[in-house]
Amino acid sequence: MLLFVGCANEKINTIIEEDNNVFISLNYPITNIKKLDKKIKKDVDNIYDDFKKNCIKDSELNIDYTYNKNNNYISIVLKIYINTNEKKEYVKTYFYDINKNKFLDINDIIDGYKNIYFSIDNEYFYTYINNDSNYIKNEYQLKNLNLKINIEKIETKKTNILYESNNKVLNPKDKFIALTFDDGPSIYSSSLLKVLEDNNINATFFILGNKVKIYNNVLNQSLKDGNELGNHSYNHKWLIKLDEDDLKTQIDDTQNIIKQYTGYTPTLFRPTYGSINDKVKKASDLDIVLWTIDTLDWKYNSVNRIVNNATKRVKDGDIILMHETYKRTVEAVKQIIPILKNKGFTFVTVSELREIQKLRNYES
């Protein structure tokens, strides 16, 4: 059992100042335990300095304390009172193990909070302790606690329609972006996949049928990582110039070879050069995907320029066009991802983006 006595043996450090109509009275204990005294003094000095910086005429700072000590422990409450434009009172506490010569926190004192029950709502954290015939409830504002869980997120997740894909939970109220890479796979695909994987994001690859066989390992890895594959024709002919049979062959052969080497059947189609006519539209049931932002990575050598093109005017729902066939693109992507993450974007595949857009239409 801890038995504390309010003890008068300790010394008190007192500082009283009245300076230009600013009133300061500081009282704090000197315990002759170096570590403890140093910590208290440091805290008091900080409070004092802070107050001096912010005080106005007729301001007051008052620090007082309570002190309890037994053979093993010292327990101190520092009470800080500040009156400037408005009044503010708060405490700092120190609990010190004299024998072990260290500070203890609440986890060291109470065994796992076993008999303290708690609940939480949007604003408060509540504790309950059951006494013999009643219980004591206390509340604490969440904003003043170092919560380890995100309460806001839990709340929004409950009230929104969400879309689940690839073990990802996507909230239609967030901002989304889809990176797309054409003309691959290539010798740069592996390093590009690594960049995506390192950043824990997915993209969509519009690939050419004639490259599937040689790069089938890369494609399988890409799918395993959660990326999406789309059809970009067999050998990049300008499709609007082809007759119906040739056009159909370009699309179908690509579907077939992707299926053969990966087991995956694309649902997306990006026409070469972004050129569409009625023939192209009618050639398959695939979802035709163009883009809203062209990075021009095929045209410009400068990584910075590609990064700028991708990030400058970006908005929710954009589809960014890049190419898997340039080393500079891989370098640019390393910069583009953190910039867009900082702007609050979540990266999704094109099919995920489509699903989110459907949910939004459904909600509105």
What are the catalytic residues?
182, 323
Q: How many residues bind Zn ion, per CB under 5 A?
A: 2
Q: How far is the CB of 182 from Zn ion (least distance, A)?
A: 4
Nearer to Zn ion, 65 or 291 (CB): 291
Q: How many helices (DSSP H) and strands (DSSP E) are in the chain? A: 10, 20
Nearer to Zn ion, 222 or 272 (CB): 272
Q: Which two tokens stand for residue 187?
A: 């010798």
Residue nearest to Zn ion (CB): 182
Please, are residues 360 and 354 in contact by the beta-carbon 8 Å criterion? no
The DSSP letter of residue 47 is H
Number of CB atoms found within 10 A of residue 89's CB: 10
Residue 208: closest CA among 253, 242, 274:
253
Nearer to Zn ion, 31 or 227 (CB): 227
* Contacts to Zn ion from residues 166-205, by CB under 5 A: 182-183
Does 352 help bind Zn ion (rule: CB under 5 A)?
Answer: no
Q: How far is the CB of 156 from Zn ion (least distance, A)?
A: 39
Strand intervals (E) in the chain: 5-6, 11-19, 22-30, 59-69, 73-83, 87-97, 102-103, 116-120, 124-130, 135-141, 163-165, 168-170, 175-184, 204-207, 228-231, 268-269, 287-288, 293-294, 318-323, 345-347
Nearer to Zn ion, 182 or 228 (CB): 182
Q: How far is the CB of 107 from Zn ion (least distance, A)?
A: 59
Per-position x/- string for 35-64, each x denoting binding to Zn ion as judged by CB under 5 A, each - no binding: ------------------------------
Per-position x/- string for 264-303, each x denoting binding to Zn ion as judged by CB under 5 A, each - no binding: ----------------------------------------
Site residues (vs Zn ion, CB under 5 A): 182-183
